[in-house]
Amino acid sequence: MTLSVSSFRARLLGLATLCLSAVMPAQAEPFVFTAIPDQDERHLTERFGKIADYLSEKLGVEVQYIPVKSYPAAISAFRNDQVQLAWFGGLTGVQARALVPGSEAIAQGVEDTAFVSYIIAHHSTGLSKSDHLPAELAGKRFTFGDKGSTSGRLMPEFFLRQHFGQAPEQLFSRVGFSGDHNRTISLVQSGAFEVGAVNYAVWEAEKAKGNIDESKVGVIWATPSYPDYQWSIRGDVNARFGAGFKEKVQQTLLEMTDPDLLAAFPRSGFVNATNDDYAPIRDTAVAIGIMDPAP
């Protein structure tokens, strides 16, 4: 059989491609993670860019961090497989895992086993620190954080409802949602809102940096403790990245001891977590109407 010049060239190209594929390994897909945007984007980029480098070195695969603009966007990215791992709050983790069968909470911060929220108030209210929620909160302008925040909305709202027997819209003269903890602090410190709910770890970190003027704003109450932030991973990672990959990711997180890396959260370290640890969060979300009861 006589080959045309074009056919001969095509066969040569095919042979060359086969030879190259035999000696060059296929490019593995990157392992991608995100985090709820509980602080402004600059903070998030600083926090998680170096975490991606750490994970990449320890896991032996390319690891990418992608920012998201909102709490629902973090859940959607996890659901749609745009990310395989996420640093969620308690509520967002429960919501995301409910949408992705087989997904698991694999690690939480040491502090997340007993997390608290602070209620903060502008000095003009005359409110001071107390072991009890003051009756004088009624009628004030109050801001939560993001609507999907565990520490900035879910748990503070639960305890406010429990104590006063009223929904926030009935209790306060105005209810807002700042979007993140830094902005909650700024809004209360400026007096735009008289009172607000904030993640205690963000408050303490911002205070340590000198970013809070305590002559204008202060903590008046701390909630009882509850489980909060955690790393959640999709259930299909072993099939995609190799047997035992999920366990390797978990171990890598638990072995994170570099103070500079841990300060990015900020946490003193990570411990094991399971989905069952977050049953109280789901129960609370159902109780105040944020989530539907499990079918």
Average per-residue pLDDT in the chain?
89
**For residue 115, what pLDDT band results from cuts at 50, 70 and 90?**
very high
Answer whether CATH 3.40.50.300 is correct for domain 116-222: no
Preceding omega of 266 cis (within 30 degrees of 0):
yes
pLDDT tens-digit readout, 229-273: 999 999 999 999 999 999 999 999 999 999 999 988 889 999 999
pTM of the model: 0.78
Q: Following DSSP, what letter does each residue of 18-46 receive, concatenated?
A: HHHHHHSPPPPPPEEEEE---S-HHHHHH
Q: Is residue 41 very low, low, confident or very high in pLDDT (cuts 50, 70, 90)?
A: low
Res 11: pLDDT: 52
Residue range 154-207, pLDDT digits in tens: 999 999 999 999 999 999 999 999 999 999 999 999 999 999 999 999 999 999
Residue from 231, 67, 195 nearest 119 by CA: 195
Distance CA 133, CA 129 (A): 9
3-class SS of residue 280: helix
C-alpha 121/C-alpha 196 separation (Å) is 7
Structure tokens belonging to residue 20:
């190259």
* pLDDT, position 287: 86
- Domain ranges for the chain: 31-113+227-287, 116-222
Predicted confidence at residue 119, as pLDDT, reads: 98
Pick the CATH number of 31-113+227-287 from 3.90.180.10, 2.30.30.140, 3.10.20.740, 3.40.190.10: 3.40.190.10
pLDDT digits (tens, 9 = 90+) for 193-207: 999 999 999 999 999
The per-residue pLDDT for 40 is 65
